Structure 1
Amino acid sequence: MSVCRPTRCLFSWLSSIPKPSSSASHPRRPFSSTTVRSGRKRRPHYPSIKAEDLALLNQAAETNYPKYDTSETSLLSKRYTKSQIAAIKAAEAALDPKDIITQGQRRTDPWQLPYEDDLAEVDPVTDHADKLSHRDIKGPKNFRRANEVERDEAIAQIANENLAKLYPSGVPDGKLSPKEQQHLEEAMQAALTQAALDPRAIYTSDNPHAVAALADPRHSVVLPDLPRIENRMARQTRRLSNEEQEDPRERRLLQYMDWDKKELRKIRSKTLVVHGVTNQTRMGKIRSMYYLTIAGNGDGLLGVGEGKSVEPEEGRKQSVMSAIRNMRPIPRYENRTIFGDLEKKFGATRVKLYSRPPGFGLRTQHLIFEMARLAGLQDLSARVPGARNKMNVIKATWEALCNQKLPDEIARGRGKKLVDVRKVYYGGSVH
């Protein structure tokens, strides 16, 4: 008899005894000296603010974010409509200045918006200019190439405008220091260069609005991009589409195949076999990954490639490049099936392929199905009666498809016409 049985009987007997009421029970002695959770004093989630601190917060809020007075409201009524003023007042009433002081934070990034900005003007840093079309140009829109006199006058006028932007208070005159003189000469040279490249100096028109549209970025088809933040991290992480790192294996493959990148992108590949291999050396066991990949264009080209490397991605790339390099043309009858029945033995694996009529489809195992689809075959059936090792099945199928006997070759070998050979070779059943 088990020792646990009397114990279970004892515990079941004790559980049947009615429990005493809570009023008659004595308080149990706790195992820990820590006060129970119900008896602890709850701590506030947020620190309490004292009266003097609150007075300071109110004073700072009133100083930094004062309320609108009567004069400011009258100025706002001249600039905004009644609905806009009502929206501004509602927003001001919803925001508590004390919350802005305690929880708010001033932005320091380059894209910060000033608090006093009413967003009425377009900022060249943070905003895109509105695009305008030819319908926005008033008057005729005829242009002609300017002659030498008109070109010189336009360059002088545009250069003066550029200098006025560089020196809003006027070009400095009198005796200048060498540094100021050098800065002035560089500014004049830059203004003249920009004026010579300006389209208003090359083309002219009788309509001044049409001439002004030549230098207006809003009439540009491609607006300039927003300026980027120039720092070390931005320069390192910035990658343009034409600055992508080129794989040396891909470059050698393109030279070997005499292709361009557009033709290489049409090739589809699929990895069918992946397993780990171990190489025993004097330094110990070195584990690497083996990949078997097929590649094809879906229109009569098929290749098989192998790759092995310690790095998985490196081994996969090796197999893909090898499969593309080993692609061979696959003969197809009516661009949909094979020429007759095929049989190939590779190692202990035997593969039998059968041609089928239109609409039959691909009724094969998954490895042969993927190979037939990449080769562009549509009607095919297959059997693998022997061993079904994946690598041997793929290699046997590839060699069987590549080494088909064409009716033309049989006709030349037998000295007969093509029509007679097709009739005899297919037994009168031509699909």
Structure 2
Amino acid sequence: MAEPRQGQGNRPRRDRQDKPKDDSGLTEKVVFINRCAKVVKGGRRFSFSALIVTGDKLGKVGIGFGKANEVSEAIRKASDAAKKAMVKVSLREHTIPHEVLGEHDGGRVLLRPASPGTGVRAGTGVRAVIEAAGIRDILAKSLGSNNHANVVKATLGALLQLRVRDQIFETRGITAKRPVTA
């Protein structure tokens, strides 16, 4: 029986995982690339859009969307947009401080804190945002639309709703009492 040649059959998908940027310490992940075709007199003209998540794995994360006539140019534009749109999210050790539900258009994402060692239990778009932010233990569920852009934006919206205990006390005007250790 002849084995399939290289490049045929069930070959593994090319992995577009985290690409560490040596100059800034940021990681990028390509979440989705869309190809759009415009029919013109001479045939079809293709254009591409790219959805990128960028993060420093220390609590800062951003998403970017770029469009161009070539894939590499769309990725570059999305990467630049993601770097400009980076925001700080509140974390507690390697998880989130509390359960939260994020929404964007039809996309709804539920995030729950998890005990150490659980890992990241999430789908592709949610996982990209969570890992870029540096969260190691979390449970996530995408409830609404499965549109990549809406799921990613809902995840970022959920992360922006997070508040640690001290921030909540500060907004309520309460001073947090620390336990006395001997």
Compute the TM-score of the two structures, normalised by the length of structure 1: 0.34
1:116-135 paired onto structure 2 within 5 Å: none
* SS of residue matched to 2:34: strand
Aligned to 1:357: 115
Which of 70, 75, 96 is equivalent to 1:316?
75
1:17-51 CA distance string (max 9 Å, x none): xxxxxxxxxxxxxxxxxxxxxxxxxxxxxxxxxxx
Identity of aligned residues (%): 27
* SS of residue matched to 1:299: coil
Aligned to 2:29: 270
Q: Work out the CA distance in 1 between the residues paired with 2:100 and 2:67.
A: 31
- Structure 2 unaligned regions, length at least 5: 1-20
Q: Work out the CA distance in 1 between the residues paired with 2:168 and 2:38.
A: 47
Which of 327, 331, 338 is equivalent to 2:96?
338
RMSD: 2.6
1:76-225 paired onto structure 2 within 5 Å: none
1:317-350 CA distance string (max 9 Å, x none): 111111112111121102x011201111111111
Q: Work out the CA distance in 2 between the residues paired with 1:389 and 1:365.
A: 12
* SS of residue matched to 1:292: strand
- Cα distance, 1:288 vs. partner? 0.8
Does the 8 Å CA contact 2:103/2:157 hold for their aligned counterparts?
no
Which of 385, 392, 401 is equivalent to 2:143?
385
Which of 59, 62, 68 is equivalent to 1:303?
62
Q: Work out the CA distance in 2 between the residues paired with 1:340 and 1:299.
A: 18
Compute the TM-score of the two structures, normalised by the length of structure 2: 0.76
- Cα distance, 1:279 vs. partner? 5.9
Name the aligned partner's letter for residue 302 of structure 1: V
Which of structures 1 and 2 has the larger relative contact order (alpha carbons within 8 angstroms, sep 6+)? 2
- Structure 1 unaligned regions, length at least 5: 1-260, 421-431
Does the 8 Å CA contact 2:100/2:161 hold for their aligned counterparts?
no
Evaluate the alpha carbon distance shift between residue 330 and residue 280 of structure 1 in structure 2; reply closer, same or farther with a 3 A threshold.
Answer: farther
Structure in which a larger fraction of residues adopt strand: 2
Q: Deviating runs (4+, > 4 A) in structure 1?
A: 278-281
1:263-298 CA distance string (max 9 Å, x none): 42x2111111111124689xx975310100011121
- Rg larger in 1 or in 2? 1
Number of aligned positions between the proteins: 158
Q: Work out the CA distance in 2 between the residues paired with 1:274 and 1:262.
A: 24
Evaluate the alpha carbon distance shift between residue 312 and residue 382 of structure 1 in structure 2; reply closer, same or farther with a 3 A threshold.
Answer: same
Structure in which a larger fraction of residues adopt helix: 1
